[in-house]
Amino acid sequence: MSFTACRAALTGVSMLALAACATTTASQEVAPEAAARQTPAPRESTAFTLGTDQPRAPEQLAMRFDKADLSIKVIPDAKAIDAVAVLDFTATAPLARLVVELDTLLTVSGVAVDGVVVPAGRWSNPEGRMTVELAEPLAAGETAQLRIAYAGQPRVAPMAPWDGGFVWATAPSGEPWIATAVQPEGCDIFWPCIDHPLAEPGRVDLHITVPSNLSAPTNGKFLGKVDHGDGWTTWNWSAAQPNTYAIALNIGPYEEVSADYHSRFGNVIPMSYWHLRTDDPAKVQGLFDQFAPMMDFYEATVGPFPFGDEKMGVVETPHLGMEHQTINAYGNGYKLDGKGYDWLLHHELAHEWFGNQMTNRNSDDMWLHEGLGSYMQPLYLRWLHGEWLMQAELLGQRRGLINKFPVVSGEEKSEDEVYQGDTGPALDIYNKGSLIAHSLRMLIGDEAFFTSVTRLVYGTATPRPGEFQPRNASTDEFLAIVNEETGRDLTWFFRGYLYQAALPDLRQSRADGELALEWVTGDGGVFPMPVEVEIDGRRETVAMAGGRGRIAVPEGAHVLIDPDNKVLRRLEYIEAWKAAGGANP
Ligand SMILES: [Zn+2]
């Protein structure tokens, strides 16, 4: 996502996309009769519901989320849903009650555990954290099935995907065009779940009922649809271990274009793109033709597509984008930017590896999703067109740095704290994360770098289709892997780049036929980052042991520091441009 569009990095291109997205949203006027049906008073989810990745309740730490079975009827005319969720849990410790989250904008009409109705008074949902008392406490290893019937008008996204919820749009052909995007708020906006990255259900089955003239592609494998003959059709899907915020409804007058992808790992993966019927067929084909080359890049660079037994799926949405597992949202309008690929499609696809296969343990590690994901774009430009476009992309990212908060704090954070610029690194998790990854690759070399990334994503250096599961990972684990792969202790690199707001500063002084260099980091820690220096066209590497180095420089010689842009560092000319109000061209 890019601000969370996955909030794709706000490069100049994506700013345009964002502007277009906002225009689209604003132009979707509410029909007068629909407006009349809406609740007059402003409705808002609670602060608790709007947050995501908040500390789990003790009960949630004592239960495993085995499965969610969601039957959701989406009623476009009423901008409402009518749903039943059946949730399977296993106690991992003695458990007296079940605790899940569900937005209080939705009205719960019935609760049952193992088929027995739970009377009112034995369950409550204050603030969106719902507690259901068990008739008999569970012992560790025992299971419970919680059934919740609920309905109502879910939160409308003020500006998806950055401020999310439901998007009730109208397709150019006049039919309803509906999407959900809830990364900043979490799954509890429209289904009962545990809104935390460590609480992915083992499986989510989806039964989406929509008007029969619309399609409802969603996560996972398609299990067929049932036309009820009354104007409504149910679309059935099943997704293994979905990222919690990745469950997404997408409903519209879609046509599907599909093909098989023959992986370099030997498996065959179905690829599908659901687009609006009214789209220009040439543009549809142009985008779809990019699917296989992007898949090959990611498989060659990181490893097997993580969900090959389900699908590589993309759906056109009224909002810009979001990394919805096996059903990525695409709303970039087929825009060309002169770089030879669709950056939004590429960015969301990155999250199948960085976000959905490997999910951070806490939002404090969000750069593992967005920074490593954003580094895939310069790498893809190198793959397609060579070093020059890679460097051009890195420059665009370099100009976007904020350097106000460290990329990683070392403390548990809610997602909001990370994404809001007054409390956290915000876009630095994208741009600075990517540039740090580039400097790491330049320092340790391609073999150690790419092996480390693969181990982080899969937990093994040799992943094979069908032999790995989605996993959680942290910045500390990445450091441990990099240390193993290099046989070095690179704590100084992680500390100097990720845990400081300020960029490392390479201080230079030249006197008496010598250039003296010294690294100064945010916390004064030693930063032994080698630096290449070109002296009148001759290259040398200064080792910078202890963070300092010296090199002979003849009087009058021209000196160029870091000629290949290998080392992320403070650059005064960029600071001066930013201070003068500079923005990416
Ligand atoms: Zn993203």
Question: 275-294 pLDDT, tens per residue?
Answer: 999 999 999 999 999 999 99
User: DSSP 3-state assignment of 152?
Assistant: strand
**Regarding beta strands 80-91 and 143-152, do their DSSP bridges make them parallel or antiparallel, or are they unpaired?**
antiparallel
Surrounding residues of ion ligand 1, Cβ less than 5 A: 1, 6, 370
Question: 132-170 pLDDT, tens per residue?
Answer: 999 999 999 999 999 999 999 999 999 999 999 999 999
Q: What is the pLDDT of residue 54?
A: 87
358 Cα to the center of ligand 1, angstroms? 13
130 Cα to the center of ligand 1, angstroms? 30
Percent of the chain with pLDDT over 70: 92
Establish whether the linkage from the previous residue to 154 is cis, with ω within 30° of 0: no
b/e for 183-192, b at 16 or more Cβ within 10 A?
Answer: bbbbbbbbbb
Residue type, 227: D
Question: Which range has the worst mean pLDDT, 48-57, 100-109, 547-556?
Answer: 48-57
pLDDT tops 70 at residue 584? no
Rounded to a whole number of angstroms, the CA Rg of the chain reads 25
87 Cα to the center of ligand 1, angstroms? 29
6 Cα to the center of ligand 1, angstroms? 4
Please give the C-alpha separations between residue 572 and each of 99, 187, 507, 557, 579, in angstroms, as whole numbers.
52, 43, 11, 22, 10
Q: What is the pLDDT of residue 30?
A: 33
pLDDT tops 70 at residue 4? no
Contact 392, 343 (CB under 8 A): no
466 Cα to the center of ligand 1, angstroms? 25
354 Cα to the center of ligand 1, angstroms? 9
Q: What is the pLDDT of residue 53?
A: 87
Question: 318-346 pLDDT, tens per residue?
Answer: 999 999 999 999 999 999 999 999 999 99
Q: Is 44 left (phi over 0), alpha (psi -120 to 50) or beta?
A: beta
Q: Among all chains, which residue has been given the structure tokens 């916390």?
A: 523
pLDDT tops 80 at residue 34? no
Question: Which range has the worst mean pLDDT, 231-240, 248-257, 278-287, 575-584?
Answer: 575-584
Question: 498-557 pLDDT, tens per residue?
Answer: 999 999 999 999 999 999 999 999 999 999 999 999 999 999 999 999 999 999 999 999
As a whole number, the mean pLDDT across the chain is 92
325 Cα to the center of ligand 1, angstroms? 12
Q: Which residue has the higher pLDDT, 473 or 19?
A: 473
420 Cα to the center of ligand 1, angstroms? 15
Q: What is the pLDDT of residue 43?
A: 79
Q: What is the pLDDT of residue 175?
A: 98
pLDDT tops 50 at residue 18? no
346 Cα to the center of ligand 1, angstroms? 10
Phi, psi of 390 (to 5 degrees): -60, -45
370 Cα to the center of ligand 1, angstroms? 5
243 Cα to the center of ligand 1, angstroms? 14
Q: Which residue has the higher pLDDT, 493 or 582?
A: 493
Q: What is the pLDDT of residue 582?
A: 80
